[in-house]
Amino acid sequence: MLIDKVFILAAVVFVGILCQWFAWRVKLPAILFLLFAGIIAGPFTGWLNSDALFGDLLFPFISLSVAVILFEGSLTLRFHEIAGLERVVRRMISFGVLVTWLITAAATRLVLDLPWGLALLFGAITSVTGPTVIVPMLRTVKPTAAVSHILRWEGIVIDPIGATLAVLVYEFILAGSSGHALSHTLLAFARIVGIGLLLGSLAGYLYGSILRRHWLPEFLHSVATLGLVIFVFAVSSSIQHGTGLLAVTVMGIWLANMRDVSLEEILDFKESLSVLLISVLFIVLSARLDFHRFFHLGWHVVFIFLSIQLLSRPLSVMISALGSKLSWPERHLLSWIGPRGIVAAAISALFAIKLQAAGYSEAELLVPLTFSVIIGTVVLQSATARFIAKWLGVAEPDPRGFLIIGANLVARAIGRALQQAGFRVLLVDSNWEMIGKAKMEGLETYYGEPVSQHADRNLDLVGIGKLLALSPRGPLNTLSCMHYRMELGPKAIFAIQAAADMEMSKERKAVSHRKWRVLFGPEVSFSSLTKALAHDGWKVRSTTLSQTFDFAAYQLQYGQGAIPLFAVTPKGRIEVFTAEEQLSPQPGWTVIALVADPDRSLVVG
């Protein structure tokens, strides 16, 4: 029996990670595939019985997992990201929650005739959006920075608020027969807010002080943080039920905004743990679904979903955005995106079990109702949000920019030329001296290794469409090309070859598994470009071709005295010269090349 449980749990973990990988490949929220896997494993085949697998530990596991997920998300919330938009976020997590709660509750009461208590509880559960769904959706939609920051802040901060509201409604339902329901609920609200804020702030300040003073060795940072999150959640919940999620979220926000506190290793560990927990949770929870209840709900579910998507969400956003600097297209996009995720699923399962045990038979509808909203919002918004963002004009511009690996002399010269041609460039290097020189030349930089979890989290790739690996470190170029090939596409990856690569035989090159193109030609290497720039006085120059001075005339005039690098069309599209293919720029195109005679005018009419 134990071996069977071990195998089932291992299979759930394996399938969960497989779903995460597939979601990454197709650039869709992983929840879609995790839900599908759970439904296949549970209701369809009966292979996975979540209650039998975990027993009495199922809901403690769900609660602790949600706490860890929310804490990890709150560690990324920094106040400077929403400078000027604080009022919008505050309204969305206050007035916005109130509007969503009441409209959803009224719609549920109207079409299903549920008791007001259960309708209000369902409204509270579905007032939360899902950070685990929003983040991958934002990667696909790529909206403006304002929209992105607001959605991320809302998705994380609103979860403990919605959970607290659900706890209050739950307390109100249980106290409804005592005659003191309102006073009991108000007292519970004061306790939840007071204890959650106090314990979260205190834990965040004390632990941040410990990290800042280096009283804890680095190898204990991750496990100590995990232990503290679980401890704070447990202590807070034992003092007052429903305060745990608020406490750990406040703790995370406090740590994220403390000065001189390094959180990189903690974030790396927590991100990996959150991916694992989310993968397991979604499969386990969706495996508990009863499809007979879905069919029993019928068209009522569609009405409730439409009331959330087309009424409560737009109304809450419009109220929250009053008087803000958000444009109308940004407000419209915010009104469309509001997917529900793991917190709504977990809370609905917890309260359904508790209320059924207390004699509320209609509580069994909470789970299928909540999952209907989750599936509906995720599927509809994932399929349409990118199109709507483009239609509204609030999506990222087409990726025309360049991520350049290296900030050396060659990289800086090429970066300046591309920047002057109107393309965004971002130079990445772990050499501070090189980064400093690039900054002095007005180039955008990132200090650090291009292939690292810190880079994945902090590298701003807005508008970046191509990678140029121009580092003298061949292995770093190779690693960078492999790392960003899936992000940018194999046709957008270019690397300079080292002198040693040029000595490789044609036979060995033919069997090479290289998945990128060689920059600027078969005879061009990093060392040859460095020599031309540093010792021979060559400069990067632009030449506009014409009918009388076409590319053939350009090559005839400069011959070996020019190395063509890029060609820009009149419409602003850029092409890269490579060893694999030779471009044929047409009249009207601009050729960017490294030329031997910088004093000679190259702009020919």
- Residue 177 pLDDT exceeds 60: no
**pLDDT band at 427; cut points 50, 70, 90:** very high
Domains of the chain: 55-392 (1.20.1530.20), 401-595 (3.40.50.720)
Which helix or strand (DSSP H or E) is residue 229 part of?
A: helix 221-239
- Spatial CB neighbours of 532, under 8 Å, sequence gap ≥ 6: 538, 563, 594, 596
How many C-beta atoms lie closer than 10 Å to residue 70's C-beta?
29
How many C-beta atoms lie closer than 10 Å to residue 567's C-beta?
22
Q: Which tens digit of pLDDT belongs to each residue from 250-287?
A: 888 888 887 777 766 676 666 777 788 888 888 888 88
pLDDT at 604: 35
The mean per-residue pLDDT over the stretch 152-157 comes to 78
pLDDT at 14: 92
Lowest mean pLDDT among 70-84, 160-174, 529-543: 70-84
- Going by C-alpha positions, the residue among 512, 573, 510, 562 that lies closest to residue 540 is 562
- Going by C-alpha positions, the residue among 165, 156, 102, 155 that lies closest to residue 334 is 155
Q: Do residues 250 and 196 touch, judged by C-beta distance below 8 A?
A: yes
Please give the structure tokens belonging to residue 405: 């690996």
Alpha helix ranges (H) inside 358-443: 366-392, 409-420, 432-440
- Residue 180 pLDDT exceeds 80: no
Averaged pLDDT score across all residues of the chain: 80
Please give the structure tokens belonging to residue 497: 């070859």
Please give the structure tokens belonging to residue 352: 């359904």
| Alpha-carbon span 341 to 155, nearest angstrom | 9
Assign 494 to helix, strand or coil.
strand
- Spatial CB neighbours of 123, under 8 Å, sequence gap ≥ 6: 100, 101, 102, 103, 104, 105, 108
Lowest mean pLDDT among 304-318, 446-460, 589-603: 589-603
Residue 418 CA to its chain's centroid (Å): 28
- Going by C-alpha positions, the residue among 265, 165, 180, 251 that lies closest to residue 209 is 251
Q: Do residues 176 and 116 touch, judged by C-beta distance below 8 A?
A: no
Lowest mean pLDDT among 153-167, 176-190, 397-411, 439-453: 176-190
Above pLDDT 70, what percent of the chain? 88
How many C-beta atoms lie closer than 10 Å to residue 187's C-beta?
12
Q: Do residues 139 and 194 touch, judged by C-beta distance below 8 A?
A: no
Q: Which residues pair with 403 in a beta bridge?
A: 426, 467
CA 120 vs CA 156, 219, 489, 496: distances in Å: 22, 46, 47, 61
- Residue 462 pLDDT exceeds 80: no
Alpha helix ranges (H) inside 321-364: 328-336, 342-357
| Alpha-carbon span 76 to 499, nearest angstrom | 42
Assign 585 to helix, strand or coil.
coil
How many C-beta atoms lie closer than 10 Å to residue 180's C-beta?
11
| Alpha-carbon span 39 to 180, nearest angstrom | 42
Burial class of residue 508, CB neighbours in 10 A (0-12, 13-18, 19+)? exposed
| Alpha-carbon span 426 to 419, nearest angstrom | 10
pLDDT at 505: 44
Please give the structure tokens belonging to residue 474: 């061949």
| Alpha-carbon span 46 to 101, nearest angstrom | 35
**pLDDT band at 106; cut points 50, 70, 90:** very high
Q: Do residues 481 and 493 touch, judged by C-beta distance below 8 A?
A: yes
- Residue 512 pLDDT exceeds 60: no
The mean per-residue pLDDT over the stretch 491-503 comes to 74
pLDDT at 279: 85
Which helix or strand (DSSP H or E) is residue 453 part of?
A: helix 453-458
